[in-house]
Structure 1
Amino acid sequence: MCSFPPGEMVVVTRRNTYFVDPDVAPEDKFNIVYWLVILVGFGVLLPWNMFITIAPEYYVNYWFKQDGEETWYSKEFMGSLTIASQLPNAAINVFNLFLIIAGPLIYRVFAPVCFNIFNLAIILCFVVTVEPTHDAMRWFFWLTIFMATSINFSNGLYENSVYGVFADFPHTYIGALLIGNNICGLLITFVKIAVTYCLFNMPRLVAIVYFSISLGILIICAVALFFITKQDFYHYYHQKGMKVREEADTHRPSPSILWTTFKNCYGQLFNVWFCFAVTLTIFPVMMTVTTRGKNGFIDKIISENDEIYTLLTSFLVFNLFATIGSIVASKIHWPTPRYLSLAIIARALFIPVFFFCNYRVETRAYPVFFDNTDVFVGAGILMSLSHGYLSALAMGYTPNVVPSHYSRFAAQLSVCTLMIGLLTGGLWAVLIENLIDKPNIF
């Protein structure tokens, strides 16, 4: 017969039994869990950042343009990729709301990561073995869209589960996930810039190196998650959250519990949805096809290479300043939850600003009001900084404006809303993309 230390919570895993004092929170020594959570955050948006960063150079220009001329595939790829990424992501997030608490952590977090490692290895094999031809263009387009759908379907399960797990932790750990999200995009951008400079005018080799590094990063994310689950700090907050939900009889999800949670945090859910919807309307679809202006200081100092120009003015600007914004949000919490929506709604003004920059300037039916590259980059900085800051506040506020036994469900709802926001933004971007060359639509 086994006996356990009195007053301690017992956490049993497949291999180990942990004894956790319910009255004393273990210390996160050297902030190791915090830093590992940032690494886990890398994996949340890695598939999306991976595809959109390489897409303009490798897929659009190298695979789907013929002698530099636009084809249906090159014009439609970015919009199709956005929908193929965000639609399955949103769908699995809704489905996962009813299953995440009941299922083992190993199935809901580790399995999607392993599946994406497998998918990315397949993509890398195609990049290595297949060269672009006119006959291969059609099947390669749809194969890529299918792989993006598969990866993001799996990633939606992973993302919803991860945010649900860390909703039981102190507020800063949700913030760490968001910081990891943005640092991931920044790191991938730096990798892409370095590879492009070193392998100039060699898009296939760029893609091979780029996807190989992305595969390595995803493996590191899986290892980081594994080490987190071995920490007493993790087991204390995980078990504490489970105990609170069991005492309130909310340990298993149900439509009534989710509806009650929604009623307690719908204001913040709106903030999450609208913030991401506006952002994805602009980035990457609008920003990556906005060409350089005829004047401006920034235009004079940036390389004439179109790939470098897009990497610096779109991907680097967005990921760098979104990261800065999310880090600032971990220190400063203003506006308060009550007034956050005012700042987030005001961001909608960025959409017409980018619309009247050099967006699809060769085919557009509308005048360009902001031809200066400095205006485009300045608007990109403000849009990205506000996105990182306000989205981090909204995601952090959501599980904190509900009773503690609903916090995990609120975190899951916020991720689900985030995905719906990305899907909404993708649809808006496709709509704008198809209307830009058609006059008299307003």
Structure 2
Amino acid sequence: MAFVPEDDEHHSANSTYRAPGSPTWAERETLLGKQLDRPPPGLQRPEDRCHAAYAIFFSLGVGGMLPWNFFVTAKEYWAFKLRNCSSSASRRDPEDSDILNYFESYLAIASTVPSLLCLVANFLLVNRVPVQVRVLASLVVTLSIFVVMSVLVKVDTSSWTRGFFTVTIICMAIVSGSATIFNSSVFGLTGSFPMRNAQALISGGAMGGTISAVASLVDLAASNDVRDSALAFFLTAVVFLGLCMGLYLLLPRLEYARYHMKSVGPVHVFSGEEGLTPDSLHSPLVASKSVESHTPPLRPILKKTAGLGFCIIYLFFVTALIFPAISTNIESLHKSSGSPWTTKFFVPLTTFLLLNFSDLCGRQITAWIQLPGPNSKVLPVLSLLRTGLIPLFVLCNYQPRVHLTTVVFQSDIYPMLFTCLLGLSNGYLSTLALIYGPKIVPRELAEATGVVMSFYIYVGLMLGSACSALLEHLI
């Protein structure tokens, strides 16, 4: 790894920048990795003893994604609660059948639209509301909703099924919004830490999905009542959310965390914001002319992260287009045999567990391999290549089929293979793009950039969820 002489570098609290006229680090992929997280000369960075901060961020990632995953994974429970709609659909309203058949799409839309709005609000609140307040408030709201859902598990809703559907969608919207504020705030916080901590948070999110999938399988095997399974899901989420509160309060007590969480000063708005460079943020002449603002400057962040943003949006667009609306409706070709593998366990194993585990593996690989770099043309090319996964899933045994009646892949191994490719590619490529974002801006903008990177995620999820409903009607 090549380094330039010390007098040819300018150091910020977040990155190393070269003097004007020299190639920037972003133009040289070999400078990625440890140099991005190298502390300024003369400052001794504390060690992360026993990897405590890494473990805390990993656990926060689990708690941040567990609520959404439990909502999505409890498919049998929602079908049980909403089945009264379709039981007499032929005698009543066709809309009743639509509620049950396309429930996953409605759930996906209810989760992504509020998330997008809350991300915008969180960006505006970055410098107005302390991160601790945002994180803890979002955890309290999410925990409260899961307590309500736990109570509803034991309530007979057969006489007000449509009302239960409405309550569920509203709860999903609130959970998604509060979880988004939590996730984006914590991810923004990792912008002030070395990249390995952001990677821990992102990998923790995939572990949350894996835990929910394993919990689903255990509950299905141990319980014959889907209500008991759902209750175990929701109570587990309550426990994890409470754990997240304790771990987040513990984080500032670590010397390593205090070093990276120290105040970096107010963000400034400049008259020539289009030409904002990392060095200009630290120039006394420019800073003296700046005006303090409660809103971080958005234009330089978008300009700096545009390429990574495109990759993130498209990666999650393809993933949300396929999962859960398409992949969870792919049935075993031997379902008529009646075996538990082809009926009860096929979707939980081949979709939820396999996807989340492969996604976790892809994210964890980035802890050791960080290629391609942020300016590489390979990253967007690999993102676009994932488009080919869409027809592969459609041509599996998706049911019910109305327009595309031909099933090309006549084996259960194919959806398993395609799910592995979907998860690995999503985990690896999205994690790379996400951890690069806050590291290519000055530390003053790191938290706001983390929120913007989360915004890219939810744009992709929203577009994918909306298109998945259309794709389902076309199959």
1:374 aligns with 2:413: yes
- Structure 2 residue aligned with 1:42, among 27, 51, 62? 62
The alpha-carbon deviation at position 402 of structure 1 amounts to 2.9
- Structure 2 residue aligned with 1:197, among 221, 224, 229? 221
- Give SS of 1:402's match: coil
1:319 aligns with 2:356: yes
CA-based RMSD of the aligned residues comes to 2.6
The alpha-carbon deviation at position 170 of structure 1 amounts to 0.3
- Give SS of 2:46's match: coil
1:113 aligns with 2:139: yes
- Give SS of 1:64's match: helix
- Residue in 1 aligned with 2:83? 64
The alpha-carbon deviation at position 362 of structure 1 amounts to 4.3
**8 A Cα contact 2:126 2:448, kept in partner:** no
1:82 aligns with 2:108: yes
* Separation in 1, partners of 2:122, 2:414: 42
For residue 60 of structure 2, what is the amino acid of its counterpart?
V
- Residue in 1 aligned with 2:34? none
The alpha-carbon deviation at position 151 of structure 1 amounts to 1.2
- Give SS of 2:340's match: coil
Deviations 1:264-319 (A, max 9, x none): 11000111111111111111111101111259xxx999834523111001001111
- Structure 1 residue aligned with 2:205, among 168, 181, 193? 181
* Separation in 2, partners of 1:84, 1:414: 21
333 and 196 in structure 1: CA distance in 2 versus 1, 3 angstrom threshold? same
1:172 aligns with 2:196: yes
**8 A Cα contact 2:334 2:342, kept in partner:** no
1:126 aligns with 2:163: no
- Residue in 2 aligned with 1:7? none
TM superposition score normalised by structure 1: 0.86
308 and 232 in structure 1: CA distance in 2 versus 1, 3 angstrom threshold? same
- Residue in 2 aligned with 1:136? 160
- Residue in 2 aligned with 1:12? none
* Separation in 2, partners of 1:279, 1:383: 7
- Structure 2 residue aligned with 1:98, among 124, 134, 148? 124
The alpha-carbon deviation at position 333 of structure 1 amounts to 0.9
Deviations 1:156-209 (A, max 9, x none): 211221111111100111101101000011011111111110003x11111112
**8 A Cα contact 1:62 1:203, kept in partner:** no
The alpha-carbon deviation at position 363 of structure 1 amounts to 3.4
* Separation in 2, partners of 1:30, 1:101: 32
* Separation in 2, partners of 1:132, 1:306: 26
* Separation in 1, partners of 2:430, 2:45: 29
292 and 61 in structure 1: CA distance in 2 versus 1, 3 angstrom threshold? farther
The alpha-carbon deviation at position 425 of structure 1 amounts to 1.1
- Residue in 1 aligned with 2:276? none
For residue 380 of structure 1, what is the amino acid of its counterpart?
T
* Separation in 2, partners of 1:208, 1:68: 27
The alpha-carbon deviation at position 47 of structure 1 amounts to 1.9
277 and 242 in structure 1: CA distance in 2 versus 1, 3 angstrom threshold? farther
* Separation in 1, partners of 2:468, 2:142: 26
- The number of residue pairs the alignment matches comes to 409
Give matches, 1:257-268, under 5 Å: 257-268=297-308
The alpha-carbon deviation at position 391 of structure 1 amounts to 0.8
- Residue in 2 aligned with 1:14? none
**8 A Cα contact 2:185 2:447, kept in partner:** no
- Give SS of 1:97's match: helix
- Residue in 2 aligned with 1:5? none
For residue 247 of structure 2, what is the amino acid of its counterpart?
A
1:212 aligns with 2:239: no
The alpha-carbon deviation at position 411 of structure 1 amounts to 1.6
**8 A Cα contact 2:191 2:439, kept in partner:** no
* Separation in 2, partners of 1:76, 1:306: 20
**8 A Cα contact 1:277 1:423, kept in partner:** yes
**8 A Cα contact 1:100 1:108, kept in partner:** no
- Residue in 2 aligned with 1:8? none
**8 A Cα contact 1:293 1:371, kept in partner:** yes
- Residue in 2 aligned with 1:155? 179
- Give SS of 2:124's match: coil
1:52 aligns with 2:69: no
Deviations 1:345-389 (A, max 9, x none): 111111111111111244344422223211111011111111111
282 and 84 in structure 1: CA distance in 2 versus 1, 3 angstrom threshold? same
- Give SS of 1:307's match: coil
Deviations 1:9-41 (A, max 9, x none): xxxxxxxxxxxxx92222211010110110011
* Separation in 2, partners of 1:426, 1:242: 39
The alpha-carbon deviation at position 253 of structure 1 amounts to 5.3
- Structure 2 residue aligned with 1:407, among 435, 439, 446? 446
* Separation in 1, partners of 2:88, 2:423: 31
- Residue in 2 aligned with 1:279? 319
Deviations 1:220-267 (A, max 9, x none): 112111111222222211116448988576985546x21011111100
- Residue in 2 aligned with 1:222? 245
The alpha-carbon deviation at position 215 of structure 1 amounts to 1.2
TM superposition score normalised by structure 2: 0.81
**8 A Cα contact 2:105 2:468, kept in partner:** yes
233 and 242 in structure 1: CA distance in 2 versus 1, 3 angstrom threshold? farther
1:29 aligns with 2:49: yes
- Give SS of 2:44's match: coil
For residue 460 of structure 2, what is the amino acid of its counterpart?
G
**8 A Cα contact 2:134 2:181, kept in partner:** yes
For residue 67 of structure 2, what is the amino acid of its counterpart?
P
* Separation in 2, partners of 1:117, 1:107: 15
* Separation in 2, partners of 1:254, 1:149: 26
- Residue in 2 aligned with 1:17? none
| Percent identity of paired positions between Structure 1 and Structure 2 | 25
What stretches of structure 2 of length at least 5 have no aligned partner? Answer: 1-41, 90-95, 269-280
The alpha-carbon deviation at position 131 of structure 1 amounts to 2.4
